Amino acid sequence: MPCLSNMRFNVALTLLLVSLVGIAIQGCHGKVVQFIFGDSLSDVGNNQYLSKSLAQASLPYYGIDFGNGLPNGRFTNGRTVADIIGDSIGLPRPAAFLDPSLTEDMILENGVNYASGGGGILNETGGYFIQRFSLWKQIELFQGTTEMIGNKLGKQAVEKFFQDARFVVALGSNDFINNYLMPVYSASWKYNDQTFVEYLMETLQKQLLVLHNLGARELMVFGLGPMGCIPLQRVLSTSGQCQERANKLALSFNKAASQLLINLESKLPNASFKFGDAYDVVNDVINNPYRYGFNNSNSPCCSLGNIRPALTCLPVSTLCDDRSKYVFWDEYHPSDSANELIANELIKKFGFVGVNRNAPAPESAIAPSPDE
C-alpha cells in the first residue's frame, strides 16, 4: 500500500508540474509584442553597434527630447512613429536587435526592432553608408530569432507567439533618395521611374511572403511621405522648392504597395496585411504648417546655420528656438512633434485598439521642454 500511495503522490506531483509549466509557457506568449523592420525612421539603436556605419545618430543633439536627453540611436529629437503608435495601444517598445542586453526573455516580453539607418528594400541601397541592414538582412536576423524562440517555447507555442505579434515594415525612401535618384548607382540608368517601382514591388512581395512563412500574420507596411520636400531635397534643388519627381515616385510607390498588400492579404491564409499611408496629411502639414501648430516646414531644427546641407546633427550644430514648431529635425528626418502627428493620423485611420491590458506606461518618453 505505501508503494501505491507513493505512486499516487508522484502522479499528482507530475500533473502539477506539467500544469505549472503550461501556465509559464502560456504567460510567455500570452503578451502581444511587435517586430519592427525599417530604416532610420524606425531605428532605435542598431546602427550604434555597426562600428563602420556612416549612418549614425550617436551624437548630441539626437535624443534631446527623449528620456534622459542623451543620444539613443533614434534619428530624431524624440520618438519614432512606431514608438508612438505602440505606446498608444499598449505594445511594449522592442529593443534594438544589436543591443548587447537583449535576451530571449526580453524578446518574449517586448519583441525586437531590426530597423537600420540607411537600409532599404534592396540590398544595394545606401551602399555608401558602408554598414547598414537591408530588409533582406533584417528578415534573415528575424529568422534566427524565430529559431531561437522556437527552441525555448516549442512548436505550438512559438507559432501562436509570432502569429499574435504585430509586425511593422517601414522602408522605401532610401531606395529612391540613396539609390535610384543618385547617378552613382546603376539603378539610375538601368530603370525608368515605372520599372524601378515595379522592381521594388517584386522584391517587397518576396520579402513579405518570407515573413508570412516565418509566422507574420498581423503586419503593416508604412507608406512614403512627400520625400521631395525633406530639407535635403529642397536645398539640392535650384529653387529651394520641393522636388516634384521625388514626390511623384513616393505616390507611385504608395499606390503599388497598397495594391500589393490587398493582393497578398486575399491570398495568404490568416493574413491581416495593411498599408499605412500618411502622405496626404504630411503633405498638408508641409504646405500649411501653421494650421497644425508648426511655424517651419522647409528647414531643419538642427543645422549648421547657412552651411547646407548639414547631413547630420552635431554637437556644434545650432538648434531652433522651439523644437515643437519644426516639422523636420534634421535634413532627412521629422521631429518628435511631426512624428506624433503622423502616428495619430494612422491611429485614427485604422482605429487601432489596445492589445495588452494593464500594460505599464513606457519609460519617460519626453525630456523636459525646450525652455526648461
Q: Is 96 helix (H, G, I), strand (E, B) or coil?
A: strand
Q: Identify any residues that bridge with 307 across adjacent strands, giving them in sequence order.
A: 304
Residue 51 annotated among the catalytic residues of the structure: no
Contact between 57 and 27 under an 8 Å Cβ cutoff? The reply is no
Contact between 301 and 328 under an 8 Å Cβ cutoff? The reply is yes
Residue 40 annotated among the catalytic residues of the structure: yes
13: cell is 506531483
Residue 29 annotated among the catalytic residues of the structure: no
Kindly give the residue spans of alpha helices, DSSP state H, lying in 180-268.
Answer: 187-190, 193-213, 231-236, 244-267
Cβ-in-10-Å burial (0-12, 13-18, 19+) of 127 comes to middle
How far, in Å, CA of 84 to CA of 81, rounded?
5
Q: Is 66 helix (H, G, I), strand (E, B) or coil?
A: coil
How far, in Å, CA of 290 to CA of 298, rounded?
13
Q: How many alpha carbons fall within 13 Å on the CB side of residue 3?
A: 0
Marked catalytic residue, from 333, 335, 336, 337: 333
CA angle (28, 31, 36) in 5-degree steps: 105
Marked catalytic residue, from 40, 252, 317, 324: 40
Marked catalytic residue, from 43, 65, 83, 330: 330
Residue 80's nearest CA partner among 90, 94, 97, 100 is 94
Contact between 77 and 62 under an 8 Å Cβ cutoff? The reply is yes
Residue 177's nearest CA partner among 311, 327, 282 is 311
Q: How far is CA 20 from the centre of its chain?
A: 36
Question: Cell 558602408 identifies what position?
Answer: 130
Contact between 83 and 159 under an 8 Å Cβ cutoff? The reply is no
Residue 161's nearest CA partner among 34, 73, 253 is 34
How far, in Å, CA of 71 to CA of 58, rounded?
5
Which pairs from 240-243 meet CB under 8 Å and 24+ separation?
Answer: 240/298, 242/286
Q: Which residues are catalytic?
A: 40, 330, 333
